[in-house]
């Protein structure tokens, strides 16, 4: 079935360090891929998305490229800030009739950035 496997955390970095959070997926057809961020005590916010192969989603300095050949959607940021501390979720939807609108989430990666 459709699923997302996400790099386990927690990840602890110093401010201005480079961030990579790995995400790979299994899906039938052509999924759309997402990264969501959850700040402490809050709901999920869409960080970025990509809807077809080789698309690059970007937002707030974060980037992720949809790689169909490796079934991956790794999240990267060149220089993290303390305010980036949160839980990051990789997700997909296949948008097929029977699962329309359903998102499949990874388990989340806790990121802590120290000043």
Partner 1 sequence: NAGVMQNPRHLVRRRGQEARLRCSPMKGHSHVYWYRQLPEEGLKFMVYLQKENIIDESGMPKERFSAEFPKEGPSILRIQQVVRGDSAAYFCASSQNPQGAFGKFGNTIYFGEGSWLTVV
**Which listed residue (22, 65, 72, 99) binds partner 1 by CB under 8 A?**
99
Question: Nearest 5°: CA angle at 76, between 73 and 78?
Answer: 160
Rg (CA), the chain: 14
Please give the size of the binding site for partner 1, defined by CB under 8 A: 26
Chain residues 16-75 in contact with partner 1, contact rule CB under 8 A:
32, 36, 41-46, 49, 51
Of 7, 13, 17, 103, the one binding partner 1 (CB under 8 A) is 103
Structure tokens at 86: 């949160």
H/E segment holding residue 49? strand 44-50
**Residue in 27, 104, 111, 113 binding partner 1, rule: CB under 8 A:** 104
Cα–Cα nearest to 90, from 28, 29, 38: 38
Q: Which of 56, 60, 68, 102 binds partner 1 (CB under 8 A)?
A: 102
Query: Do the Cβ atoms of 28 and 77 come closer than 8 Å?
Result: no
| Interface with partner 1 (CB under 8 A) | 4, 6, 32, 36, 41-46, 49, 51, 89, 93, 95, 98-108
């Amino acid at each position: 079935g459709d699923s997302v496997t996400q790099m386990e955390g927690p990840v602890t970095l110093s401010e201005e360090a480079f961030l990579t959070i790995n995400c790979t997926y299994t899906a039938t057809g052509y999924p759309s891929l997402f990264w969501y961020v959850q700040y402490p005590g809050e709901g999920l916010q869409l960080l970025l998305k990509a809807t077809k192969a080789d698309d690059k989603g970007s937002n707030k300095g974060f980037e992720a490229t949809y790689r169909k050949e490796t079934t991956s959607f790794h999240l990267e940021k060149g220089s993290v800030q303390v305010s980036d501390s949160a839980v990051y979720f990789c997700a997909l939807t296949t948008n097929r009739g029977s699962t329309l609108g359903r998102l499949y989430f990874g388990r989340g990666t806790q990121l802590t950035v120290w000043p």
